[in-house]
Amino acid sequence: MRGRPAFYESYSQELALFNTRPKQVGVGVLVVIAVLMPFVLQDALLRTLAIAFVFAIGALGLNIVTGLAGQVSLGHAFFLGVGAYTAAAISGDPEGRTIGFGIQEMWVWLPAAGIVAAICGVIVAPLATRLRGLYLAIVTLGLVFIGEHVFREWSDLTGGAGVGRTAAEPVLFGFNFSESSASFSRDQQLYLLMFVLMLVFALAARNIARSRVGRAFSAIRDRDMAAEMMSIDLPRTKTLAFAISSFYAGCAGALLYTISGFFDPASFNLLLSVQFIAMVLIGGAGTVGGVIAGALFISLLPTLTRELPAYVPMISSQVTQTPNVFQVEQILYGLLIVVFLLFEPRGLFGIWVRLRTYWKSWPFSY
Amino acid sequence: MTDLLEALLRGLGTGSVYALLALAFVIIYKATRVISFAQPAMMLTGAVATSYIAPAIGFVLFTGLSFFISVALAALATAALALVVERLAIRPMVGKEVFVVAIITIGIDIAIRVVANGFIGLGARPIGFPWGLDRVELLGLQVQIRHLVMMGTVAVVVALLFLFFQKTRYGLAMRAAAFDQEAAMTQGVSVGGVFAMSWAMAGALAAIAGSLLATGAGVDRQLWLVALAALPAIILGGLDSLEGAVVGGLAVGVVEALVGTYQREYAPWLGDNVALVSPYVLMLLVLLAKPYGIFGTPEVRRV
């Protein structure tokens, strides 16, 4: 229907991957811009963006279980850790200080990290499917603490607290992305790699949301009892949601530390989980575009606050002085979550929807 | 045998503080149906406030008394802070999804904790507790004075809470609002006032708990993690049960102390500091058997 993009003639049309032309064009333009970025931006910023893309993969996973299926999980950091250690162990040096099998190819360690994390998700699920709401949040929080303990103590695998181990190497068919090649620098390559991977994971997430399973997730979120009446098997569907979400988390964990090359067992703490929750909620729970925007926003926040001392003379950039950048960053971070949820509970995506409606219905405000 | 009894006493000591923290969580939960993740920040604020007030008034009065007075003052200050937080960030969210409110409290927690940490400084800050880690001999057992102080203080506070809920009209209003908000409203109970009061009480309880916990090693930046150990306690007892919170808190304290005493001997392969995670393991085990805790009300769903 020309000129009437919101007029659907069939369900398949409404459920299409990009159900309107502007969406198709918009996503295309954004992708082109993102691909051109490495030739414009400096390496330090590219590296931050690459990390942001990996965070986006993890947040998309949390979005499946929390945004789509409505099961609040504070345990995302645990699954991230499982993925990170699986990948590091598979690709690690067999002669090294920590466990390693020396298989460096990414197409081996990346799916393996996801699958091991997903298995952990399935093991936890029987507890999780019996609980609802805040009980579930607290139980998954317990998971983070138990996981942190295991990571800290199992020093053959993790290198132990305060020491850490090297992360997996991003090698694909013999090409190592973390070594500068003739035409690209290390950060440019990693940026492109992470961007492509994020696109793949985002497409998959969108497709899961469109599929039968994804619609079952939303049904459970909206009213679990009604979903049950429509012959949706609650325990099985919830377990599936946990498994998919953990798969994403495992992959994100495996990729995250390839950028810095090194990681410590203390990384997988409650704060990391909260960061993911913040990405999903600030971005817009249940939406793919919103969650990616939320992940970019939260990951770029430190870069923005680092600029503050130049403008506000009171804030110092020294750790030892009291109003310093790191404290301001943390406070801003906490307050942003509060302010966002107070004024726009639907997050960045909600702001976008409001803007869109304003322009679409202009000059009528209703 | 002595080892076991001493471990039990230690456990009951810290357990009574956990019970206090758990009560704070449960009071907020019963009034607003939200778990406040801002409690760790409130606890830290209370402990930091005590560490500043105690030296200021310590030289006027004799040993011990000044500590308790400063704890009471710190509890009042923290209650005031909790009131402000409740009014600014929680009240506007009445009727919104509980999970969103819970995440808001996490944001508040992060922000307040950074400020409180700024007042601690780099190392641990002494809190002005006159006996420190001193021990006394009691029926042939070595007990730290601070554990006895913890048990005593908590017993007094819990008794006062019980009297408040049973005998005063405000306590009655809070019980009514927890039972059915709309019905309470029609009887003239100010539900907003109940929300505010629950936050203030929880803030004060957390401040007392924080000050008691810091009596040993002083206030440091890791203290807030202890407040989260009260979460297994409330899950054990059931989210909406005050008795459950007390029992759960004591149970968590005792299990932690027993694991801390015997794990190295019987299960060394578990590594160091297992005691710190044992409450969470206990919580998982109990939930496998009873999904709504020991004293919690199972959720009744109407079709």
pLDDT at position B58: 63
* Among candidates A148, A323, A337 on the partner chain, residue whose Cβ is nearest the Cβ of B104: A337
SS3 A359: helix
Instruction: Give Cα A33 distance to the centre of its chain.
Output: 21
B93·A139 Cβ contact <8 A: no
- Model confidence at B80: pLDDT above 90: yes
Residue of B nearest to A139 (CA): B284
Q: How far apart are CA A284 and CA A180, in angstroms?
A: 37
**CB contacts, 8 Å: B117 with chain A:** 327
Q: Which residues of A touch B232 (CB under 8 A)?
A: 138, 142
Q: Which residues of B7-28 are buried (b: 16+ CB within 10 A; e: fewer)?
A: bbbbbbbbbbbbbbbbbbbbbb
Nearest chain A Cα distance for residue B151, angstroms? 26
> Would you call B291 an interface residue with chain A, using a CB distance cutoff of 8 Å?
yes
Q: Are B108 and A338 in contact (CB < 8 Å)?
A: yes
C-alpha–C-alpha distance, residues A200 and A359, integer Å = 31
For each successive 10 residues of chain A (366 residues), what is the average pLDDT?
Answer: 69 77 84 84 84 92 89 89 88 74 78 90 82 80 88 78 75 74 79 90 90 90 87 88 92 88 83 88 86 90 76 66 74 83 83 85 75
pLDDT of residue A252: 92
A138·B231 Cβ contact <8 A: yes
Q: Give the Å distances, CA to CA, from A61 to A8, A80, A337, B142.
A: 30, 10, 20, 52
Please report the pLDDT score of residue A315 as a whole number.
66
Could you write out the DSSP letters of every residue in A205-235? HHHHHHSHHHHHHHHHHH-HHHHHHTT--HH
Using 50, 70 and 90 to split pLDDT, how confident is the model at B83?
very high
**By the 8 A CB rule, do B252 and B18 touch?**
yes
Say what the pTM is: 0.87
pLDDT at position B135 over 80: no
Contact assessment for residue A143 and residue B41, using Cβ atoms and an 8 Å cutoff: no
Helix (H) or strand (E) holding A166: strand A165-166
Q: Identify the pLDDT of residue A349.
A: 87
Q: Which two tokens stand for residue A269?
A: 């703490």
CA–CA distance, B156 with B160 (Å, rounded to integer): 6
Decide if B89 and A342 are in contact by the 8 Å CB cutoff: yes
- Please check the confidence at residue B60 and state whether its pLDDT lies above 70: no
| Contact call for A334 and B107, based on CB within 8 A | yes
Q: What was the ipTM of the complex prediction?
A: 0.84
Q: What is the mean pLDDT of chain B?
A: 84
What average pLDDT score do residues B15-41 get?
89
The 10s digit of each residue's pLDDT in B181-209 is: 888 889 888 888 888 999 999 999 999 99
Separation CA A19–CA A25 (nearest Å): 11
Say whether the peptide bond before residue A363 is cis (omega within 30 degrees of 0): yes
pLDDT given at position A117: 92
CA geometry: angle at A338 spanning A67 and B124, to 5°? Answer: 115
- Structural domain spans, chain B: 2-227
- Contacts by residues B177-180 (CB-CB < 8 Å, ≥ 24 positions apart): B177/B31, B178/B30, B178/B31, B178/B240
Q: Provide the pLDDT for residue B242.
A: 84
Find chain B residues with C-beta within 8 A of A154's C-beta.
271
**Is pLDDT of B99 > 90?**
no
- Residue A318: the pLDDT is 65
Tell me, letter by letter, the H, E, C secondary structure of chain B.
CHHHHHHHHHHHHHHHHHHHHHHHHHHHHHHHCCCCCCHHHHHHHHHHHHHHHHHHHHCCCCCCHHHHHHHHHHHHHHHHHHHHHHHHHHHHHCCCCHHHHHHHHHHHHHHHHHHHHHHHCCCCECCCCCCCCCEEEECCEEEEHHHHHHHHHHHHHHHHHHHHHHHCHHHHHHHHHHHCHHHHHHCCCCHHHHHHHHHHHHHHHHHHHHHHHCCCCCECCCCHHHHHCHHHHHHHHCCCCHHHHHHHHHHHHHHHHHHHHHHHHHCHHHCCCHHHHHHHHHHHHHHHHCCCCCCCCCCCCCC
* B272 Cβ contact list (under 8 Å, min separation 6): A153
Whether residue B107 and residue A335 make contact (CB cut-off 8 A), yes or no, is yes
Other Cβ atoms within 10 Å of B163 Cβ, number? 11
Q: Which helix (H) or strand (E) holds A192?
A: helix A186-210
